[in-house]
Amino acid sequence: MKKKCGIYICSGCGIDAAVDTQALIKVAEKELKAEACHVHPFLCDDSGLELIKSDLRAGTVDHFVVAACSQRFHQQSFDMGPEHMVLRAPIREYVAWMMEPRDENGKVNEDTQMAAADYIRMYGARVKRMEIPQPFEQDTIKSVLVIGGGITGINAALEVSKAGYPVHLVEKQAELGGAAKEYRSFLPQKAPYRDLEDNQLEELISRLKSKSDISLYPSSTVDAIDGEPGNFTVRIKNGQSQKTVAIGSVILATGGKSYDKNKLTHLGAQFKNVVSSDEFEAMAKTGKLTRQDGSPAKTIAFIQCAGSRDKNHLSYCSSTCCMNSLKQAAYVRQIDPETKAYILYRDMRTPGLYENFYKKQQDDPGIFLTKGEIAQVSEDGERSILIDLDNSLLGDQIQLKADLLVLATGQVSSLVDEESHLNLGYRQGKDLPDLNHGYPDSHFICFPYETRRTGIFSAGPVRHPMDINEAKRDAAGAALKAVQTLELTSMGKSMHPRVGDLSKPDFYLARCTSCKRCTEECPFGMLDEDEKGTPRPNPARCRSCGTCMGACPERIISFADYSIQQISDMIKEVEIPDEFEEKPRILIFACENDSLPAFDMAALNRIRINPYIRIIPVRCLGGINLVFVSDALSVGFDGVMFMGCKFGDDYQCHFVKGSELCNERLSKVQETISRLNLESERIRQFTVTLNDYDKLPEIINDFVTEIDAFGPNPFKGM
Amino acid sequence: MSNQEKKILVIGGGISGMSAALDASETGYSVILIEKRPSLGGRVSRFHQYFPKLCPPMCGLEINYKRIRPNKNLQVLTSTEALKISGEAPDLKVTLKTSPTYVNHKCTACGDCVDVCPSERPDAFNFGMNKTRAIYLPQQMAYPNRFVIDRKHCPEGCDKCVVACNYQAIDLNMPAKEQEIDVSSVILATGWKPYDAKKLTHLGFSKFPNVINNIMMERLASLSGPTQGVVVRPSDKKPPKSVAFIQCAGSRDENHLPYCSSICCLASLKQISYVRAQNPEAEIYLFYIDIRTPGKYEDFAARIQEDPKLKLIKGKVAKITETADGSLVMEAEDILKGNKVHIEVDMAVLATGMEPSIAGQSFVGDTIKLDSSGFIQEDQKAGIFSAGVAKMPLDVSSSVIDASGAALKAIQNLRSD
């Protein structure tokens, strides 16, 4: 259906001081043949909004371009309802606030005016192509699968159930409880954080068992998970038997394990009276602390960071060992007040309110704590353990003799060196992609649950070294996310970061060549493949970033409100002057997460910017299709800049892979450009974060200077 | 009342409160988020970068603002505080007070008012290290993006901004507004404030201009800060050639904050990278008791500690004195070497700890149970939950995790069955 397009231009906030808005109206009327065009001095005010709404009521207009401030202002004011597309052409920020205003005689600057006119053309052309996204509808199964029946899994299941959603909990062992089964006591968990708590596992398990909406699968593993959020099919295996259940989201809570003590021979792991923290915990649970020969251990030493913070073993800190050894030192004193405990540490790490527990143990005259470097661990004739310490607080080069040595072994994720716990039937593999040290967690500080598998959340020590109290908090957070997945998915809405977005990619498969680029590149594993390699979309896995759209060489992937055609139209609408000497044209694709707001910040600070640039926002640089490059060059742009997030190990791309994929694509096209006798430097990607807004003029001007030296794009005017 | 009609109130618009409010509202529930300052963002909006990625906090905040803008389940009230919480869940009543900002929703952030404003005020956002006009934007990335007026700095009878504003956005007689709202769950996300370093009299904060706290350091390093991101020492605005970081300034100290504030070690290591990025030759000292960089943060900490011009000294700084040129002498015991050291530096940064902000707020009364340090205890009366640093010292990521959990608990409480 033909769109009835209205263009509403605000002349307030300094726009009129920079551009001739009446001339913009002529562009809208004559070139775009818009059904309605108006200038208003205060468009976001009631009278301005009424101007738009009256056209809507009269049926004159159904798609709108608001040429005023950026999307960051008045988004809800300009919302014309779900049936109508509103595009914001931010001529206030991109033009009026960053380019040369009228001169003292009121004459507009030609370059500034051209920029404003181009933005009217670009957005006017795009809005005509846009369709209203229709929600992807499926029957959502509002239940959650929890894998792992330890502290994290039990808590996650209880939290989900309490929110009113059924749970299926799978535990590979016959009994629930995981590592906590062996705990003599739990860490302090309430103010004043000075006292150990009883092991509360039994009570937790009985609460779990009393819930009729929690189905328990002991001695079971997950053999397969197929489908997508809201509609996963899970095959649960118990010995020879199998059961299939339907669920909507997943919490992976398979926990951690201790680092293999036997690898720590430099700390005496081979000696008889050296045990790991786990072994000591089990011993303490029996109430007897003995050496291997059964004689009582009267002096017990703990070596911290056994394997952790060690390049040869685990480079990270296992977070929990300091508190754990303090807890175990407390056991030593509980069990036999005559026994002494020595904790040998590098740094005592008892963050937050745990400090109170640390202080309590410090005050115990039978607990000795010292910083020091372990020089050597050896054994004497009586099989006691001799520990040589350098640079200790007790003195340089001292020797300590212990009846029993406990190595405070670190934590490792249960994803390391184990069979898959998820067995996802995803083309991209059966597990959550890990980042480093085998941990699969999100890389984001602000968004810790954003993994690369939508609707599948990891919680507890499987994703980060953590203790019981942290695991409990993590379980509740993951439970929220699992529940949120069900609710958003049931409405066809995307998950973070484009929460609520209804647009999902459409595939025109008749023209698909099965090249598999989209299936390989989707950061979220949205696409599976059939036998021929044709993509099989799972829309509820999609986060609407558009990486598939950028990947497709056949250009058959598009969104209703975001497509190659729409972007190409924007590119082609820019008026390219024939005279290069004065008027080069630079196209900028800016990621709307970070780079685009940098332009807003620059505008807010009235930072003057090169008037020859035209900015096109993209959801993510992953959506950059190489056709944009050829479109830009063929219409005569002299250079193209791609601005987005940092990629690599410390990536900041909120779609994980977008900026990296864009970089790869551009490196490939640069060869082609060179073959056309064009300078490949005309096409370049830049990392621009919000903090870089002050550098924008320099980044752009340097680029323009370089392009100037090359001369005009030879395709200009062809 | 259906479950979806029942409301959740989140008190505090920092990273924890914002995350909790977004998580609950995106799950389909009605949420009101209140923040007593004129902009959301809380403490993190003052940070230059986050550890360990050294990425800008504004990036995550902007994504959150982007989630808030179209969100019809979420109502944001800034310059608003809770005065009283009464009733029993699920029928809690909360009295809210919205203070006047003297600028209404018509503000377009165009800035015409600033150009005519004749009066200045110390910029509290930047710890008074610079000034703004009496009408000002609370912070560069403010939400809502709207000016406010600090009326006590307006000259008597001045209405220049009113005249300059083309949008009838300024109302110098804007009244305070009180209202009582009905909610079923309350999430307290009142966050923290830096411990008042003036109480650490031996360290000379506020007496010696070149002794600053760690949040001031964030502002100095920040592009939107008083020096446009150039780290200088306050007395002579010169980039420091040597800097000392003093850990546990207030924390782990029975006379001040008995607990560990959890984040200061990482914050200082991060700030060491700020100094290093601006001056490859700077001598940097870190006085510490224990370096606490848990989990994968250790990789970041190890990388920073490879710096050959960084010296770590295990020991508390007993005293800071000032020299004639404004430099500072750290007097400390090097515990590992067993000797006393005197080290002169251009500038000292106190890694001041986190003090919970909730104490003294009028709604606390007998309604909210706090521990002896002022953190919110886990078990509260039905319908009241807490998130983030209001509960215990946490880093950003752990606060967001906790906020998601608090959102779930608030939702559970709305269920009528």
pLDDT digits (tens, 9 = 90+) for A454-465: 999 999 999 999
Closest CA to A666 of A684, A646, A651: A684
Domains, chain A, with CATH or none: 1-130 (3.40.50), 144-255+414-490 (3.50.50.60), 258-411 (3.50.50.60), 563-718 (3.40.50)
Angle at B147 between CA B142 and CA B153, to 5 degrees: 120
The class that CATH gives domain B7-99+176-191+357-414 is alpha beta
> Does pLDDT of A37 surpass 70?
yes
> For position A672, what pLDDT does the model report?
85
**Residue A138 pLDDT grade (very low, low, confident, very high; cuts 50, 70, 90):** confident
* Chain A partners within 8 Å of B393 (Cβ): 351-353
Residue of B nearest to A486 (CA): B27
Residue B350 token pair: 């106190």
**Residue B14 pLDDT grade (very low, low, confident, very high; cuts 50, 70, 90):** very high
Tell me which CATH homologous superfamily contains domain B195-353.
FAD/NAD(P)-binding domain (3.50.50.60)
The Cα A278–Cα A256 span in angstroms is 12
> For position A597, what pLDDT does the model report?
95
Average pLDDT on B175-198 reads 98
What is the bridge-based pairing of β-strands A506-507 and A557-558? antiparallel
The Cα A159–Cα A152 span in angstroms is 11
* Contact assignment for A355 to B298 by CB distance below 8 Å: no
> Does pLDDT of A27 surpass 70?
yes
A646 part of contact set with chain B, CB < 8 Å: yes
Average pLDDT on A637-645 reads 97
A436 part of contact set with chain B, CB < 8 Å: yes
> Does pLDDT of A437 surpass 80?
yes
Closest-CA distance of chain A to residue B32, Å: 17
> For position B253, what pLDDT does the model report?
96
The Cα A231–Cα B232 span in angstroms is 57
Beta strands in B289-357 (DSSP E): 310-314, 317-322, 328-334, 339-345, 347-352, 354-356
Which residues are CB-contacts of A255 (< 8 A; sequence separation ≥ 6)? A148, A150, A152, A153, A178, A179, A414, A460, A461, A462
> For position A676, what pLDDT does the model report?
83
* Chain A partners within 8 Å of B313 (Cβ): none
**Residue B206 pLDDT grade (very low, low, confident, very high; cuts 50, 70, 90):** very high
> Does pLDDT of A714 surpass 90?
no
- DSSP-derived letter for residue B32 is E
% chain B with pLDDT above 70? 99
* Contact assignment for A476 to B409 by CB distance below 8 Å: yes
> For position A439, what pLDDT does the model report?
94
Question: For residue B168, what are the CA distances in angstroms to B98, B101, B102, B149, B171?
Answer: 20, 14, 11, 15, 8
* Contact assignment for A691 to B58 by CB distance below 8 Å: yes
Closest CA to A32 of A55, A70, A63: A63
Label residues A300-320 b or e (16+ Cβ within 10 Å = b): bbbbbbbbbbbeebbebbbbb
Helix (H, G, I), strand (E, B) or coil at B108: coil
> For position B17, what pLDDT does the model report?
98
| Chain A residues 154-173 within an 8 A CB cutoff of chain B | 159, 162-164
> For position B4, what pLDDT does the model report?
67
Residue B228 token pair: 């446009």
pLDDT digits (tens, 9 = 90+) for B243-276: 999 999 999 999 999 999 999 999 999 999 999 9
* Contact assignment for B109 to A356 by CB distance below 8 Å: no
Residue of B nearest to A353 (CA): B259
Same fold flag, B7-99+176-191+357-414 and B195-353: yes
> For position A580, what pLDDT does the model report?
60
Average pLDDT on B95-107 reads 97
Which residues are CB-contacts of A579 (< 8 A; sequence separation ≥ 6)? none
Average pLDDT, chain A: 95
* Chain A partners within 8 Å of B294 (Cβ): 317, 319, 349, 351, 465
Closest CA to B127 of B39, B206, B238: B206
| Chain B residues 135-154 within an 8 A CB cutoff of chain A | 140-141, 145
Residue A587 backbone dihedrals phi, psi, to 5 degrees: -100, 135
Residue of A nearest to B58 (CA): A690
By Cβ distance, the residue of A45, A319, A593 closest to B167 is: A45
pLDDT digits (tens, 9 = 90+) for A269-303: 999 999 999 999 999 999 999 999 999 999 999 99
pLDDT digits (tens, 9 = 90+) for A551-585: 999 999 999 999 999 999 999 999 998 766 668 99
A216 part of contact set with chain B, CB < 8 Å: no
* Chain A partners within 8 Å of B14 (Cβ): none
**Residue A673 pLDDT grade (very low, low, confident, very high; cuts 50, 70, 90):** confident
pLDDT digits (tens, 9 = 90+) for B340-351: 999 999 999 999
Q: Residue type for A365, please?
A: P
* Contact assignment for B57 to A79 by CB distance below 8 Å: no
* Chain B partners within 8 Å of A690 (Cβ): 56, 58-59, 62, 141
What is the bridge-based pairing of β-strands A527-529 and A535-537? antiparallel
ipTM of the complex: 0.97
> For position A582, what pLDDT does the model report?
67
**Residue A391 pLDDT grade (very low, low, confident, very high; cuts 50, 70, 90):** confident
> Does pLDDT of A441 surpass 80?
no
| Chain B residues 80-119 within an 8 A CB cutoff of chain A | 106, 108-110
* Contact assignment for B396 to A445 by CB distance below 8 Å: yes
Residue A82 token pair: 């779900």
Count of residues for chain A? 718
> For position A80, what pLDDT does the model report?
95
Which site among B136, B259, B417 would you substitute to test the A interface, given the most A Cβ atoms closer than 10 Å to its Cβ? B259
B399 part of contact set with chain A, CB < 8 Å: no
pLDDT digits (tens, 9 = 90+) for A306-355: 999 999 999 999 999 999 999 999 999 999 999 999 999 999 999 999 99
> For position A128, what pLDDT does the model report?
94
Residue B104 token pair: 């209404």
| Inter-residue contact B176 to B184 (CB < 8 Å) | no
**Residue B1 pLDDT grade (very low, low, confident, very high; cuts 50, 70, 90):** low
Please report, for chain B, the start and end positions of each structural domain, with discontinuous segments joined by +.
7-99+176-191+357-414, 195-353
> For position A274, what pLDDT does the model report?
98
> For position A115, what pLDDT does the model report?
98
| Inter-residue contact A18 to A92 (CB < 8 Å) | no
**Residue A444 pLDDT grade (very low, low, confident, very high; cuts 50, 70, 90):** confident
